[in-house]
Structure 1
Amino acid sequence: MPLSIRLQLSVMMFLQYFIWGSWYVTMGAYLDVTQGFSAIEVGTAYGALSIAAMISPFFVGMVADRFFATERVMGVLHLVGGVLLYLAAQLDSFATFYPCLLAYTLCYTPTMALSNSLSFQQMADPGKQFPTVRVLGTFGWIASNLLVSQLGIDTQASIFHVGAAVSVALGIYSFFLPHTPPKAKGTQASFREILGLDALKLMKNVSFAVLVISSMLICIPLSFYYAQTSQFLVATGISNAAATLSLGQAMEALFLLLMPLFFVQLGVKKMMLFGMISWVIRYLLFAFGGPDEAIWMLYAGILLHGICYDFFFVTGQIYVDKRAPAHLRSSAQGMITFATYGLGMLIGTWFSGVVVEAFTADELRDWTAIWLVPAGASAVVFLVFLLLFKEKESKAVAAQVA
């Protein structure tokens, strides 16, 4: 891959995740502390991204795989998304804020799969080249968190203003990315193909099916981390929640760079198992840590993010790319997005709100009980994946990456 293209893709990833990190990390604290929304409303707001993720695979299967160049689709979506994110910052009732946020996520979520697909199509060896490009997305997330904390806007509507500005910038920049035409352009499209349903045939492979189902299930407890951690840190007296959480992204960046080595040494199955067990450990650290107990446990839980995210989600994305035929790669990436950020997190964001409400009395929350719920759920998924994912097939993919 030429250096010029690597730089273009790296900047794309930086801006892509800068946008998301600018508002997603502290939105819970903003909605809870500033707007006074209930825990269920906060969970529902986070679920907007999940609903969008369930719709985006159909959009990606139709647009990116068949009709329009990927970079142009990304450009339009980010420009429209910037406007919607700005409007969301002006709304102070849940009845108006939520529909606007949902409309924005319908624009943003497809770009997650599209940015991956665009990158993979420019790479000769995605297993070795993708982590070094994707790591810039992590740096973008960190940079946005640090900026939000530096500006002191963790609980203000300005988090959406920052995201809107960068969204417009990426929208313009996207039109200058490497031209990535649809692979199936000019062929007759069936209704099944337009909806991206052909990617479902990949589920006939046992390991692929287990990965998709496990990814969906692990995102149910995962949603607790995204929706509740910023509020948890504020409640425990830790200032600058966004900057504190960016420590996890710093570890994510480190492990992204080390991923090619881990592929060779561990293989796909062991990497994903390490990722899942790290979620269990993280939630236990949150449950029993705190300023009055052992605050180091909170920081240790945050620092585990590198293994939690990279070893499961990035490994899964690369596995999907290796397993899917060239003409179905965008649809396959969309399907994994549907399973994870879509169905799994939709259930999880709603469930996290219910759990928080259940363990809240007189405005005081029992955080120990709250975090034990996702810890137990993550442990169950770990056991399912351990028993059903085939080691033989995971080693074959690891050999391709190596």
Structure 2
Amino acid sequence: MSLKFRLTIINFLQFFIWGAYLTSIGGYMYATLHFKGEEIGAIFLTLGIASVFMPPILGIISDRWVNAERLLGITHIIGAAALYYASTIDTPSRMFWAMLLVCATYMPTISLNNTVSYHILKNNGLEPQKYFPPIRVWGTIGFIAAMWLTDLFHWTLTATQLVFAAVSALVTGLYCFTLPPCKPDNKGAQTLAQAFGIEALKLFKIPKMAIFFIFSLFLGAALQITNQWGVPFIDHFKFDPAFANTAGVKYPNILISISQISETVFIVTIPFFLRKYGIKTVMLMSMFAWFLRFGLFGIGDPGGGLFFLILSMIVYGMAFDFFNISGSLFIEREAPAMIRGSAQGLFMMMTNGIGAMIGSFGSGWLIQHYTEDNGTNWKAVWFIFAAYAFIIGIIFMLVFRYRHTPDSIQQPAVH
């Protein structure tokens, strides 16, 4: 078995676990367990909490003490137990702590998986920037495959999705122990201050960097909203006889998976857009794509409005990837070399940590506010999210100053 194929398998499995439940667990809690919007928002808050603390901590452990592939395997096995435990829970308070453990074990494996892949490629004379992107694309394919299986077996509104994810995590954890050793290298070990991006706080003294990080937080609040609420939104149409038997209602995960398929397409277009239009314009495209993502959800339905839902899924690739990758490239170019790693850590904390927490809690509160005995006013919810993204884009366009220099734009690596 070739080295690249072995890495393709681990990347496929890595995101297969997440795809088994991430986009459908919100629907399970909302429609089956009957949790309130605020309670579901609080539970999704665990993803942001875990993203702030766990990746830096496990990154330091792999840098200093434990082989990265072993740590990856151990963490996945613990995560399998956490996922199975979560499948047995039916109260919001216990589910919060169970999902905090699930996220605390899963979120650091994303960066650990990258570390293992980079380490193995470099040790075998293969340049990660060239060979990793086509390997990493199989992670997105794994995510989509798990979503489809969860949908085709009608597990989207049942606890079986968590059992399915648990089995997948156990298989992944065991497979990790078959990978080539990735021994710690203390020469590159980070301190806690570096890992958490604390040293990069000095960048807030530079106006353009301060503006960038502040808007990273604001946009981070939008990143997981449709993953969190997409299935509950589509599921509510089953109570309307006009939509109850439509394919979109029967297979919501397959419909939503178009978003991940879109990611694989837009990733390869990023170098062109960066060279042609520059980082500021690409980030603006992302912000206005979020406006369309939410707005099209507001006017779409699984019947005659299916076209609008599909279009919303398509623009998701631009919304999600254009900001994350171009933002990472902006930091790579603008942050001083000595704190570049810390700056990337701060970017991750602002978007997937603090920003995601704000988005999870805020969206839960908003949906609870627009929910009455006869259901949730989803149109109002999505239009408010769309207005939020539109306002962020307009303000960013006015206050962020950055000159485009086409010759200096290089193809970014996919993370």
Do the two structures share a fold, i.e. TM-score over 0.5? yes
3-state SS in 2 of match to 1:221? coil
Who is 1:232 aligned against? Answer: 233
Query: Distance between the aligned counterparts of 1:214 and 1:230, measured in 2?
Result: 27
Who is 2:279 aligned against? Answer: 268
Who is 1:154 aligned against? Answer: 156
Do the aligned partners of 2:147 and 2:254 also contact (CA within 8 Å) in 1?
yes
List alignment gaps of at least 5 residues for structure 2: 239-248
How far apart are residue 75 of structure 1 and its match?
1.8
Who is 2:45 aligned against? Answer: 47
How far apart are residue 204 of structure 1 and its match?
5.5
Query: Distance between the aligned counterparts of 1:175 and 1:79, measured in 2?
Result: 11
Do the aligned partners of 2:367 and 2:381 also contact (CA within 8 Å) in 1?
yes
Who is 1:59 aligned against? Answer: 57
Q: Percent identity?
A: 30
Do the aligned partners of 1:285 and 1:300 also contact (CA within 8 Å) in 2?
yes
3-state SS in 1 of match to 2:221? helix
The C-alpha deviation readout for 1:31-65, integer Å capped at 9, x for no partner, is 11111111111111111111111212441453244
Query: Distance between the aligned counterparts of 1:180 and 1:106, measured in 2?
Result: 22
Tell me the number of residue pairs that the alignment of Structure 1 and Structure 2 aligns. Answer: 399
2:361 is aligned with what amino acid? Answer: W
Do the aligned partners of 2:12 and 2:141 also contact (CA within 8 Å) in 1?
yes
The farther-off stretch of 233-242 and 259-268 is 259-268
Query: Distance between the aligned counterparts of 1:163 and 1:323, measured in 2?
Result: 39
Aligned ranges for residues 274-293 of structure 1 at < 5 Å? 274-291=285-302
3-state SS in 1 of match to 2:410? helix
Pairing partner for 1:138 from 131, 137, 140: 140
Who is 1:24 aligned against? Answer: 22
1:235 is aligned with what amino acid? Answer: H
Aligned ranges for residues 278-357 of structure 1 at < 5 Å? 278-291=289-302, 294-320=305-331, 332-357=343-368
How far apart are residue 386 of structure 1 and its match?
2.7
Do the aligned partners of 1:135 and 1:256 also contact (CA within 8 Å) in 2?
no
Query: Distance between the aligned counterparts of 1:129 and 1:325, measured in 2?
Result: 27
Who is 2:393 aligned against? Answer: 382
Do the aligned partners of 1:289 and 1:298 also contact (CA within 8 Å) in 2?
yes
Aligned ranges for residues 3-14 of structure 1 at < 5 Å? 4-14=2-12
Q: 1:85 to 1:150 in 2, by over 3 A?
A: same
How far apart are residue 153 of structure 1 and its match?
0.7
Do the aligned partners of 1:57 and 1:335 also contact (CA within 8 Å) in 2?
no
Who is 1:360 aligned against? Answer: 371
Query: Distance between the aligned counterparts of 1:129 and 1:340, measured in 2?
Result: 27
3-state SS in 2 of match to 1:23? coil
1:218 is aligned with what amino acid? Answer: L
Who is 1:242 aligned against? Answer: 253
The C-alpha deviation readout for 1:331-375, integer Å capped at 9, x for no partner, is 554433322221111111111111111112223211111011111
Who is 1:170 aligned against? Answer: 172
Aligned ranges for residues 39-118 of structure 1 at < 5 Å? 39-60=37-58, 62-118=60-116
How far apart are residue 388 of structure 1 and its match?
4.5
Who is 2:242 aligned against? Answer: none
Who is 1:198 aligned against? Answer: 199
How far apart are residue 234 of structure 1 and its match?
0.9
The farther-off stretch of 191-200 and 9-18 is 191-200
2:84 is aligned with what amino acid? Answer: Y
How far apart are residue 145 of structure 1 and its match?
0.7
Q: 1:72 to 1:272 in 2, by over 3 A?
A: farther
How far apart are residue 233 of structure 1 and its match?
0.7
The C-alpha deviation readout for 1:180-214, integer Å capped at 9, x for no partner, is 44554487x76635755334455566555444332
1:81 is aligned with what amino acid? Answer: G
Query: Distance between the aligned counterparts of 2:186 and 2:56, measured in 1?
Result: 15
Query: Distance between the aligned counterparts of 1:295 and 1:388, measured in 2?
Result: 37
Who is 2:243 aligned against? Answer: none
Do the aligned partners of 1:57 and 1:338 also contact (CA within 8 Å) in 2?
no
3-state SS in 1 of match to 2:21? helix
Query: Distance between the aligned counterparts of 2:109 and 2:338, measured in 1?
Result: 18
The farther-off stretch of 314-323 and 140-149 is 314-323
The C-alpha deviation readout for 1:90-138, integer Å capped at 9, x for no partner, is 1122222221111111111112233344445647766655543332121
Q: 1:142 to 1:80 in 2, by over 3 A?
A: same
Do the aligned partners of 1:285 and 1:301 also contact (CA within 8 Å) in 2?
yes
Do the aligned partners of 1:78 and 1:170 also contact (CA within 8 Å) in 2?
yes
The C-alpha deviation readout for 1:369-394, integer Å capped at 9, x for no partner, is 10111111112222343344453477
Do the aligned partners of 1:285 and 1:297 also contact (CA within 8 Å) in 2?
yes
Do the aligned partners of 1:199 and 1:335 also contact (CA within 8 Å) in 2?
yes
Query: Distance between the aligned counterparts of 2:51 and 2:182, measured in 1?
Result: 22
Pairing partner for 1:253 from 235, 239, 264: 264
The C-alpha deviation readout for 1:197-256, integer Å capped at 9, x for no partner, is 334455566555444332221122333312211111111242211111111111111222
Q: 1:330 to 1:64 in 2, by over 3 A?
A: farther
Q: 1:138 to 1:324 in 2, by over 3 A?
A: farther
Do the aligned partners of 1:263 and 1:401 also contact (CA within 8 Å) in 2?
no
1:375 is aligned with what amino acid? Answer: A
List alignment gaps of at least 5 residues for structure 1: none
Pairing partner for 1:372 from 383, 387, 395: 383
Do the aligned partners of 1:5 and 1:178 also contact (CA within 8 Å) in 2?
no
Do the aligned partners of 2:85 and 2:98 also contact (CA within 8 Å) in 1?
yes
3-state SS in 2 of match to 1:153? coil
Query: Distance between the aligned counterparts of 2:142 and 2:384, measured in 1?
Result: 31
Is residue 2:216 matched to residue 1:215? Answer: yes
RMSD: 3.1
1:134 is aligned with what amino acid? Answer: R
1:245 is aligned with what amino acid? Answer: I
